[in-house]
Amino acid sequence: MKIQLALDRLTIQEAINIAKKAEASIDWIEVGTSLIKEFGMESIYEIKNAFPHKSVVADIKTIDNAKYEFEICYQAGADIATVMGVSPQATLHTCYDVTQKWDKMMMIDLLNTTQETQQKLAIYNKAVFCHHLSKDEQEIGGKSSRSYTNLRAPFFEGAKVAVAGGVNLETMSSLSSLTPDVVIIGASITKAKDIEKAAEAFKNTIEDKGVVK
């Protein structure tokens, strides 16, 4: 199980400083949508430059203009880029094509997708499927709306899956038992008083469960 550190609502330099403190305990570094929309591709470029040996996820949340958006992410150094599952099929297809051509990875954000849509997404057999409880839903509805039993059920056995949205140490244990391939953690690390220790605690939780891959 990999830990993806989501960097959001920060300057690029703040994001780099935080990621440096957490570096030893995390696997993938996410340039959050807020950084991309606030600072553009420079955010991806600078963060990849600071962490050339880490996989960098550009959370660009593409929903149209797929070729252009995915190419500028990969050109800027991203290893993985995100597309919305609620996009038109043409957009998803194009993102997948660009990703294959660049020999990179695509993550599909399942935010607000129906079961029917999720089943259609199962054709993308090399994508990471990200179960995402949005910031806005968390703020209004708390964490009660998350109730997974099998993260891979809508897709296929062996599908790569991720979980995102308000993950903390308390929810981490139950999430771990669902064995996602990637768990995405933001504020629980980035807003911790001791960032290094917070990241370490997540890593230890995973290792205790014996589900590290």
Residues found near a copy of itself in the complex (CB under 8 A): 8-9, 33-34, 36-43, 60-61, 63-69, 72, 84, 86-88, 90-91, 93-94, 111-112, 134-137, 139-141
Give the H/E segment covering residue 121. Answer: helix 115-121
The minimum distance between CB 123 and a copy of itself, in angstroms, equals: 16
The minimum distance between CB 139 and a copy of itself, in angstroms, equals: 7
CA angle, 18 as apex, 68 and 181 as ends, to 5°? 65
Q: What is the dihedral of CA 116, 138, 91, 104, to 10 degrees?
A: -110
Residue whose CB is less far from a copy of itself, 88 or 125: 88
The minimum distance between CB 31 and a copy of itself, in angstroms, equals: 11
Residue whose CB is less far from a copy of itself, 95 or 175: 95
Q: Looking up tokens 């993102």, which residue turns up? A: 95
The minimum distance between CB 171 and a copy of itself, in angstroms, equals: 19
Beta-bridged to residue 57, according to DSSP, are 30, 80
Residue whose CB is less far from a copy of itself, 52 or 140: 140
Closest listed residue to residue 135, CA positions, set 187, 201, 198, 80: 187
